[in-house]
Structure 1
Amino acid sequence: MNILPINEILPELKNVLNSQNAVLVAPPGSGKTTRIPLALMDEPWLRGQKIIMLEPRRLAARAAARYMAQQLGEQVGEKVGYRVRFDTCISSQTRIEVVTEGILTRMLQTDQALNGIGLVIFDEFHERNIHADLGLVLALETQSFLREDLRLLVMSATLSAEPVAELLGNAPVIGSKGQTFPVETHYLERRTAENTETIVVETIFHALANHAGDILVFLPGAGEIRRVQARLVEKGIAGFAHIAPLYAALPANVQDEAILPNVTGVRKVVLATSIAETSLTVEGIRVVIDSGLMRVPHYLFRTGLTSLETVRVTKSAADQRRGRAGRLGPGICYRLWTKQEHYYLEPDTAPEILSADLTPLALELAAWGIADPSEVHWLDQPPARTFSQARELLGKLEALDSNGLITGHGRQILRTGLQPRLAHMVLRAMELGLGAVACELAAILSERDFLQAVDVDLRLRLAVLRQLNPKDNQVWPPGQQLDISLCRRICREAERLKREFGNVPGQPNDIEWCGCLLAFAYPDRIGQRRSNGKFLLENGRGAVLVGDQPLARANYIVAPNLDGQGSESRIFLAVPIELEQLTDYFKRQIFTEATVFWDETAQSVRSRVYERLGALIIKEKPCLAPAPAAVLSALFSGIVREGLAILPWSRAARQLRQRLLFMHYWEQGWPDVTDEVLLGTLDTWLGPFAYGLTSRNELEQLNLVTILESMLSWEQRQELERYAPTHFIVPSGQRLPIDYSNPDCPVLAVKLQEMFGLQATPCIARGKVPLTLHLLSPARRPVQVTQDLASFWRTTYFEVKKDLMGRYPKHYWPEDPLVAIPTSRVRPQG
C-alpha cells in the first residue's frame, strides 16, 4: 500500500477506538477515506464485526469501495463492498460496507442494535448532510442504550471538531497532515458584464493553451454543465480535449468515465458539480476552474416548499475545490471571482438540517419513537416550526395518527425508500389497482423536468414516457425538446419501482387518475380555480399559471411542482382533478363547518354551511337554523366593522351618552361609554337588547336611551339629573340645553341679555365644573366666551355693550347688568 500521511496517526487512532469514540480531522490527500477502514478492519476490539462507513455521495461511495478493494487485490463485493440507493455490491465475505444517503438509517431502523457491526465511520462529516446528522444521533442512541461496545468515528477535512467531540462523549480529537502539492491560485481582476458560463468557457481554452494536465471545472448544476459543454463543442474543443460531465444524476458508468484516467491519452475536461469536491480523486487533474457557485436546497416555512437556489460558494468549499488541483502534483486554480469578493464569502456551508424539508426526518424519528427532537442531542437542533410543519404533513399522509405516533402505513412508507409523499401515493395507488401509473409519476417527480415544454400538464410527460422510444433522439411533441438521457433514466427508475412493488401491471385509462394520485402525495397543493389561471391552494396560498395554459380553465388541479416566491407561487407542473374524486377519496379530510357572518353588502347576518378541504370550499348551502349565540356574535362583528354609527343614535341618546362621558370624566364609578369601550363590551351592554336581531334595519328598533340608562344604578340615575342636567334655567326663565360634547368643559349657549342679574357662573357636577358660557348677541352670534361671569360684568361687558348698542340700538343695554331685568325679548316688558 502507498505510504500516506494518515499512517502516522494510525497507532493513536487504534488505541483510542479500543475504548471510546474518536474524531479525526485530516485534510484532503491524507488518505483517511480509503486507508482508515482497511487499517482498522482486523483490530481485536472489532472481533470480526463489520465496519460501516457513511459517505455523503453515491459516486464517492462506489469509488472508495473500488479503490479499497483494489488495495486488497480483490473485486468490489468481497471484503469491501458498497450499498447505495438502487445499487448494492456486497457478499457474505464483506467486512467493510461503504453506504450512502439513508442506507445507514434504514439499517438502524431495521436493527436498532446494529448486530454484527462494530464501527460506524462518518466520512466527510463537514458537509453536514441531514442523513449524516440523523445517522449520528440514532447511532449514539444505539450506543447509549443497547451497544456500549459500538464505536463511532467522525472524520472530516474541514470541521470545527470540538462540538462533535463533545457530542460523542468528549471524544479525543486526532489530527493528521495532508499530502497536497502547492496550488497557484488566480482571481479575476475585476467583474465584467459577461455571464459566468462565458467566462468559464474562455478560461478553459486559456488553461488548455497554457497548462498541462486535465482540467476540473466546478459548475452549480447539470443545466450549466450541458450549456458549457455545448459551447465548448461549438468552439471546436474536440481537437484539444475530451469533455466528461460529472453530476449525481448521470449513470454510474458515465460518472466512472469522468473520474478514471482517459485511456486514449487525450486531455480531459471534467465539468462537475459539487459532487467532485471531496472524498474522491479525479485522476489526472492539474487545473481547477471554479465558477464560485453551488446549488443548495432551501426550504421555505411560509410555503412548505423546497427549491434549489444557486448561491455563492463558501470559503471552505472553495478550498476543497482548489485542493483537487494539488492531489497529484503542483497545480493551478482559477477562481472566477475577485479577491475582494472572496473576503466576503461565508466561511462554511450551513448544516442542511437548518434549511431542509424535515418531513423524512420527522418520520424516521417517529419510527424510532421520538416525537420531539429535543429529546435527543444534536449538533444543530432541527428548527421547531419546520419540524412541526413536517409532522402536520405526515398526519395528512396518514403516516402519523391523531396522537402523533407512527402508523403501520407510516412504517410501510419508510420501507419503500421513497420520499414520504411519493411513497404514500404509490401505496394508496396499489390499493386502487393503479400502482403502475403511480410508479411512473414517482419516477418523473423524483427528477427534474425532462421535457422543455410550455405546457405544464404533467400528463404530457407521462404520455411521452410511454409513447417515445428512448433510443430515438427526436423532438416530441413538435417544438418541445426532450432530454433523451434523462428520459431513459426515468423509464428505468419507473420499471424498477414497478418490480419492487410486485410487477404491478398498467390499467386502461389510468392516466385519468393522475390528479387523484398526485393529490394523495400533495394534499396541500390541491388548487381551486379563483379566476383564469389563478388558484387557491388547500394550504391557503395562492398559485398562478403563467402564459396561455389549457389547465387555466380547470376547476381543480394538483400542482406538485411550484416555486415559493412572492405572494402567489408559480406553477411549473400540474394536473387536473375531478371534484368527484376529491369528495370520494378525501372524505376524511373534508370537514363541515357552519359559519355565521356579517355580510357587508347586505348589512345583515348571513349563515352558510361549508364543506371544506383545508382552505378550499368544496360545497356550500344556507344554514337554516344557526345558533342564536353565533348570530349575535356575527351581528356584533358587523357593528365592530361598521362602527357605532350603525346604531340608531337619536338626539336624546347622543346627549345622554355625552352626559355619561362627562360624569365618567369627573367622578369615579361611572360607566365608560367611549367608542373603544362600547365596541369592546357589546355583549355586556347591548347583548340583552339585540338578541334575535339580524340586520341593520332591525337595529333601528333599539332605544339607545333605555339601553344606556340600564348601565346605571338607581342612585346614579338620580345623580345624573342633579349633577349633569340636560338643561339649565337662565335668569330670563328660559330652559336652555347644556352641550356636553366636550366633557372637560360643558357649554351653555345663551343670549347675553338673558343673563342680566346673575352674578356668578353656574356650576354642575356637585359645583366642581363651571359651565362655559357662550354669550350671544341678539342675532345669536357669540360675543364672549367665559367661565367667569362676575369678571365679565365688571370689565368686559362695557366694551361689548358699546359694540352691541351700535349694532342693535333698539335692544335693552343697561348700565348695571347685575340689577337689570333679564329678557329674551328686545326689551323687558313693563
Structure 2
Amino acid sequence: MNPLVFPIDALLPQIRDSLATHPRLVLEAPPGAGKTTQVPPALLDAPWLQGRKIVMLEPRRVAARAAATFMARQRGEQPGETVGYRIRFENKVGANTRIEVVTEGILTRMLQDDPMLEGVGALLFDEFHERHLSADLGLALALDVQAGLREDLRIVVMSATLDGERLAQFLDAPRLGSAGRSFPVSVAHFPARREEALEHQTRRAIEHAVSQHPGDVLVFLPGQREISRVDAALASSDALRGVDVLALHGELPVEQQSRVLQPDPEGHRRVVLATNVAESSVTLPGVRVVIDSGLAREPRYDPNSGFPRLDVVTIAQASADQRAGRAGRVAEGWAYRLWPESQRLEPQRRPEIAQVELAGLALELAAWGSTQLRFVDAPPSGAMAAACELLQRLGALAAGGASTASPRDAAPAIGPTHGSATTAKPLAALPAITSVGRRMLALGTHPRLAAMLLAPRDAEARSLACDLAALLEARDPLRTGPGVPRSDALADRWQALAAFRNGRVAGNVSRSALAALDQATRQWRRRLRVDAPPRTDHPAHALGDLLLHAFPDRIARQHPGDPYRYQLANGRSAKLFDDSALYGEPWLVITELRDEARDARILRAAPPDEAVLRRDFPSRFATEDRVVWDAAVRGIAAVRESRFDRIVLSSRPLARPDPARYADALVDAVRQLGLDALPWTEGLRQWRARVRCLRAWCAELAEGEAALPDLSDAALLATLDDWLKSALSGKTRLDALDEQAFGEALKSALPWALRQRIDALAPTRITVPSGMERRIEYAWDDALTDADGRTVGGPQPPVLAVKLQELFGLADTPRVADGRVPVTLHLLSPGGRPLQVTQDLKGFWERTYPEVKKEMKGRYPKHPWPDDPWTATATHRAKPRGT
C-alpha cells in the first residue's frame, strides 16, 4: 500500500460536503486512518472557509509537533509556512500560516483574547476520546462562540475511540466514520513471575518479542521513571545486541523525538520505550510488536500538594485496543499484554474534568463571564466550590458577587436545532474575576504558580519565583531510598539546583531532573522577561516569602504546646517528622502534605518571614471577640482572639461578652454534638416520625404551599438558625432548653391547620372495637437503601399493638394517611405476649384464628375465645364469673 494514500482519503469529500451544510461534525477514525494529517489540508480550499485559518487542538506536544511537521513536508515546506504549530514555550507560526496545531491551553487563550476568532474558520479537536480538560473546556467555549457570535464557525470533533453516538447527539451533529489502515494483530498475555518488578517482566517480554517476531518493538510504559528502569534493565541483555533502544516521551529534546519518529537511516532494528504519547496521533515506522504494561500516568487531583498529580493508573479497554492496533499498521503484528487475562478493564477512560483539581477551569470560566456553557460532562459542583474558595484566597476572584459580563452578547437559549448544540445543565454562578485574576490567567499556568510569579517586587525575587515555579511543577530531583536521608525542606531542592548551575551534583540528586529544572526556569525567565541572573544563595526566608502567594491556605504556625505540630490557615493541623530539617521554625508555607488519621504529615515546606506575611496579607490579620462552644468542657467560652485567617495567634477570656452571642454558640454546639443533644421526648420523636412518614406517603404533602417541612437530620442541622436559635435566646447553657420550648421550636414552621392535618392523617391513638384507645407507633428507617444500593431512608409501617379480644367484630385492618397505609397489627395474648403480626386482619380471622383459639383456650380459660370472632363482642376484660 502506498504510504501516502490513507484510508480516510475516500471520506474527505463527505467531510467537506457535511461541513458545507452543517457547522459541526463528529469524525470517528481509528489510528492509521490519517485523520490528523489529512483532514486539515483537505479543508483549506473549502468555500465556507473563505481563506481563513484552521486551528487544530492536539492533546500532546510530541503529537502536535509531529503532525504539523508531517503536513508541512507533504507540501514541500517547513513548519511555520502554510502549516505551523504553537506549544508551550515554542512557536512555529508565520504570517502565511493557515493551519495551526496547538496544545494545552493555547486554544483557550485564543478564545479568551478574541471571542470572535477573527481569521479562524474552523476548529478541529483531535483525539477527543482522551478527554483532556483543555479539550472539554475548549469545546464548551467554542460552542458558546458559535451559538452567540459565529454561526459560520465550523467545529469538528475527531477521535479514534469514543462514544460517537452520544457525542453526535450532544452536538446535534452528523457522524462520519472511516476505516483504519490495519492488519491482523495477535494478542496474548505475558504473565509476570511471582513478585516480579515491572522492568524485569518487560525485559523478558522484549527479549521474547525480538527473538520470535520481525520488525521494531513498541513498549508502552507509564512514564519517564519506568522508561529509565527498563532501559537500565535492557543494558545488560545479550539478546538485544545490535538493537537500538530509544525513549519517547514529551520531555525529550526535539531532535531525539524526531529520531524516533523517522525510520532508522541504517536499517537497525529498534525497541521504542514510550509513554502513551505513542498511543495516537504519531506514527512509528516499522513497528510489528507492541508490549503493553497496561498502565499510564494520568492527572488526578492531589489534595496533598494542591496541584493535579500524575498517578499511575490502569488504562481503559479502549486504550488497550488502540495500543495493540499500533502493531498492525504496516503488516501482521503481535501484541503482548503484561497484565493477567482475567483482569477486566473499564471500557472507556474517565474524563479529566471528573477527577482533577479545577482552579484553572474556574478561573477561565470567571474570565469568560458566563457559566451557561455546555460541557460534555459537567464539572463536579464540589470540586468547583473548592476551586472558587482557593481562587478567592489567591485574589483571583472577588470575595462575593455575581460574575462579570460575558465577552459575547447574551445568546438565546440553545435547543437541538440545526444550527446549535443541545443544552446542558448550567453551572452555578461564579464570583467576578479581579484584575489580578486576569493577569494570572495570561501566564497560562496553574493559578497557584501564577499568583506567585506575579508577586515579586524586584528582579531577583522574580528570578527566584521562576525557579520555584519549575520546582513545584517538576518531579523531585532528590533521590529517595534505603540509606538516603529524607528531606522536607524545599530549600534543599533549590540549593541542589543552584549547585548544578555551578557544575556540582551531589550523590543523592538526579542530574537529569536538575537539567530539566534548569531548562524550565530558563523558559519561565524568557516568558516573564527576567534579566537578573540566577543567584547562588538567598536569605533564609526568601523561598517561603514567595510561596506565601501560591499557598495562602497552607500558611502554618507552630503550635504553642507542641513544636512538631502546626495549625494551617485553612483550619487543619499538620505535623513534622521527628527528624525534620524544619524543626523550630515558627512559621511554614507547606507545599506538600499527606493526610493521616489525626494530623496531616508535612512532606515539603519552606519558612517565611512573619514581617513579610504581615506586610503582604494585612487584611487576614484580625482581632475578634468570640463566644463559642468549647467541646472539651461542654460549655460556652467567651474569648478575645487575635487570628491570622483560621490560625489563633492569641486568646484571652472576655469578662463581659455580648449576651446575644450565646445563642449562636449554642447553635454551634448542636452542630458539633448532633441533634441528640436536644431534649427529645418520646412524643416529639413520634411527632417527627409522623411528619417524615406523611411526606413519603402523601405526595401532596411533600411539595407546594401545604408541604410539610423536611425533618431529616441533614435538613434540621442545615436550618438550625431558622428554627432553634430563637428558642435559645437568653440561655447560657444547652440544658437550659426545656422540652416544651424545644417542641414549640421544632413545630414553629407549621401553622395550626397543618398541625391538625398531621393529627388527622397520622393519629397517635386509635379507638378499637373494645372501646379503648390504643397507641399507634410510627418509625422512619434512615438505613433503607434503593435499588442501586444507595442509602435513602424511608418510612416503616405504623404499628398498633393490641390484645386479640379487643378486635372481635372488626373485619378490616385499620389504615392511616387517608386510607393509603395499612397499620401493622401486633396481636397480643391476654398476658400481653405476641401471637401474630399481620396487615391482613380478615385473613387472620379466616385462617389463623382457629389454631390460635385452640392453643389459647386452655392457657387462658377465663378469657373469651368465641367460635365466631366476626360477631363476638370485643372486650379488654376477662369473662365475668360464672360464665
Q: TM-score range by the shorter chain?
A: 0.7 to 0.9
Match of 1:521, SS state, is coil
Match of 1:498 in 2: 525
What's 2:348 paired with?
Answer: 348
On the 8 A contact 1:434/1:510 being kept in 2, the answer is no
Q: Are residue 38 (structure 1) and residue 41 (structure 2) matched?
A: yes
Structure 2 residue 398 is matched with structure 1 residue 394:
no
Summarize the alignment of residues 679-690 of structure 1 with structure 2, pairs less than 5 Å apart.
none
The structural deviation recorded for 1:352 is: 0.6
Distance in structure 2 (CA, Å) of the matches to 1:194 and 1:475? 32
Measured after TM superposition, the shift of residue 355 of structure 1 is 0.6
Indicate which of 571, 593, 596 corresponds to 1:562.
593
Q: Which residue of 1 aligns with 2:410?
A: none
Name the SS for the 2:271 alignment partner: strand
Do residues 85 (structure 1) and 88 (structure 2) align?
yes
Aligned CA distance change for structure 1 residues 580 and 102 (closer, same or farther; 3 Å): same
Aligned with residue 527 of structure 1, among 551, 556, 561: 556
Give matches, 1:596-611, under 5 Å: 596-597=627-628, 606-611=637-642
Q: How does 1:371-390 map to 2 (within 5 A)?
A: 372=371, 375-390=372-387
Partner of 1:247: 249
Per the alignment, residue 140 of structure 2 pairs with: 137
Contact 1:167 1:379 in 2 (8 A): yes
Q: How does 1:682-701 map to 2 (within 5 A)?
A: none
Output aligned runs, 1:15-30, within 5 Å.
15-20=17-22, 21-30=24-33
2:499 alignment partner, one of 436, 459, 467: 467
The 2-side partners of 1:685 and 1:573 are apart by: 48
Higher deviation after alignment, 388-397 or 159-168? 159-168
Deviation for aligned residue 1:708: 12
CA distance in 2, matches of 1:394, 1:509: 29
Q: Give the 3-state SS of the residue equivalent to 2:69 in structure 1.
A: helix
Aligned position for 2:488: 456
Amino acid at match of 2:92: C
Q: Which amino acid aligns with 1:11?
A: P
**Are the counterparts in 2 of residues 525 and 539 from structure 1 also a CA contact under 8 Å?**
yes
> Aligned AA for 1:585?
D
Q: Secondary structure at the match of 2:258?
A: helix
The alpha-carbon deviation at position 197 of structure 1 amounts to 2.2
1:403-462 CA-partner distances (Å, limit 9, x unpaired): 211111111111112211111111011469621111110111111111226212111111
Q: 2:163 aligns with which of 160, 164, 175?
A: 160
User: Is this contact kept in 1: 2:192–2:201, CA < 8 A?
Assistant: no
- How far did residue 566 of structure 1 move? 5.6
Q: Secondary structure at the match of 2:4?
A: coil
CA 1:115/1:710 → structure 2, altered by over 3 Å: closer, same or farther? Answer: closer
What does residue range 191-590 of structure 1 map to in structure 2 within 5 Å? 192-235=194-237, 239-299=241-301, 306-341=308-343, 344-370=344-370, 372=371, 375-402=372-399, 403=401, 404-430=431-457, 434-452=461-479, 454-469=486-501, 472=503, 475-476=505-506, 479-480=507-508, 482-505=509-532, 509-510=538-539, 512-530=541-559, 531-546=562-577, 548-563=579-594, 568-590=599-621
Query: Structure 1: how far apart are the matches of 2:176 and 2:78?
Result: 32
Q: Name the SS of the counterpart of 2:157 in structure 1.
A: strand
Contact 2:246/2:271 (<8 A) preserved:
yes
Q: Is the 8 A contact 1:82 1:88 kept in 2?
A: yes
Secondary structure of the corresponding residue to residue 298 of structure 1:
strand
Whole-Å separation in 2 of the counterparts to 1:663 and 1:175: 68
Distance change (3 Å), C-alpha of 1:584 and 1:70: same
Structure 1: 5+ residue stretches without partners: 644-656, 665-679, 712-830
In the other structure, the counterpart of 1:797 is none
Counterparts in 2 of 1:412 and 1:177: CA distance versus 1, 3 Å: same
Aligned equivalents of 1:261 and 1:459: distance in 2? 45
Match of 1:152, SS? strand
**What is the deviation of 1:292?**
1.1
| Structure 2 unmatched ranges of 5 or more | 402-430, 481-485, 685-720, 743-883
Q: Give the conservation status (yes or no) of the 8 Å contact 1:307–1:563.
A: no
SS of residue paired to 2:374: coil
User: Higher mean Cα deviation, 273-282 or 489-498?
Assistant: 489-498
Please report how far the alpha carbon of residue 544 of structure 1 lies from its aligned counterpart in structure 2 after TM superposition: 3.7
* Alpha-carbon spacing, 1:405–1:632, altered in 2? closer, same or farther (3 Å): closer
Distance of 1:628 and 1:351 partners within structure 2: 52
TM-fit CA distance, 1:561: 2.5
Is the contact between residue 210 and residue 240 of structure 2 (CA under 8 Å) also seen in structure 1? no
Is contact 1:301-1:386 (8 Å) kept? no
Contact 2:541 2:607 in 1 (8 A): no
C-alpha deviations, 1:569-594, integer Å up to 9, x for none? 44332111233333332222334332
What secondary structure is seen at the aligned counterpart in 1 of 2:26? strand
8 Å Cα contact 2:564-2:577 kept in structure 1:
yes
Q: State the AA in 2 paired with 1:276.
A: A
Please name the residue that 2:809 is paired with: none
User: Matches of 2:260 and 2:577 in 1, distance apart?
Assistant: 39
Question: CA shift at 1:485, angstroms?
Answer: 2.4
Identity %: 41
Name the aligned partner's letter for residue 280 of structure 1: V
Q: Structure 1 residues 78, 682: closer, same or farther in 2, change over 3 A?
A: closer
CA drift of 1:504 comes to 4.5
Question: Could you say if the C-alpha distance between residues 237 and 434 of structure 1 is closer, same or farther in structure 2, counting changes exceeding 3 Å?
Answer: farther
Structure 2 SS opposite 1:520:
coil
Q: Distance in 1 between matches of 2:54 and 2:724?
A: 72
Deviation at 1:308, TM superposition (A): 2.9
Counterpart contact for 2:59–2:126, Cα < 8 Å: yes
Assess if the C-alpha contact under 8 Å between 1:208 and 1:240 holds in 2: no
Cα RMSD (Å) of the superposition?
3.6
Partner of 1:56: 59
Structure 1 distance, partners of 2:167, 2:459, is: 48
Aligned partners of 1:638 and 1:7: how far apart in 2? 71
Question: What is the CA–CA distance in structure 2 between the aligned matches of 1:637 and 1:133, rounded to whole Å?
Answer: 41
Preserved CA contact (<8 Å) 2:244 2:270: yes
CA distance in 2 between counterparts of 1:289 and 1:640 reads 56
**Aligned partners of 1:623, 1:597: CA distance in 2, in Å?**
12
2:207–2:240: 8 Å Cα contact kept in structure 1?
no
Structure-2 separation of matches of 1:415 and 1:42:
34
Q: What SS does structure 2 have at the residue aligned with 1:429? A: coil
Q: Which amino acid aligns with 2:379?
A: P
Tell me: CA distance 1:559–1:37, structure 2 relative to 1, closer, same or farther (3 Å): same
The verdict on how the C-alpha distance between 1:34 and 1:435 changes in structure 2, with shifts beyond 3 A counting, is same
**Cα deviation, residue 611, structure 1:** 2.7
Please give the alpha-carbon distance, in whole angstroms, between the structure 2 residues aligned to 1:601 and 1:451. Answer: 43
Q: What is the number of equivalent residue pairs in this alignment?
A: 661
CA contact (8 A) 2:86 2:93 kept: yes
Change (3 A) 1:16 1:685: closer
Amino acid aligned to 1:316 = A
Judged with a 3 Å threshold, the aligned counterparts in structure 2 of structure 1 residues 628 and 339 are, in CA distance, closer, same or farther, namely: same
CA distance in 2, matches of 1:525, 1:642: 28
TM-score of the pair, normalised by structure 1? 0.73
> Amino acid of the residue matched to residue 467 of structure 2?
E
Instruction: Look up the match of 1:652.
Output: none
CA spacing shift, 1:175–1:609, aligned 2, 3 Å: same
Residues 30 and 159 in structure 2, CA contact (< 8 A), matched pair in contact too:
yes
1:271 Cα shift? 1.1
Q: Match of 1:18, SS?
A: helix
Instruction: Indicate the structure (1 or 2) with the bigger Cα radius of gyration.
Output: 1
The residue identity in structure 2 corresponding to 1:349 is: R
Corresponding residue SS for 1:619: strand
* Alpha-carbon distance, 1:306 to partner: 3.6
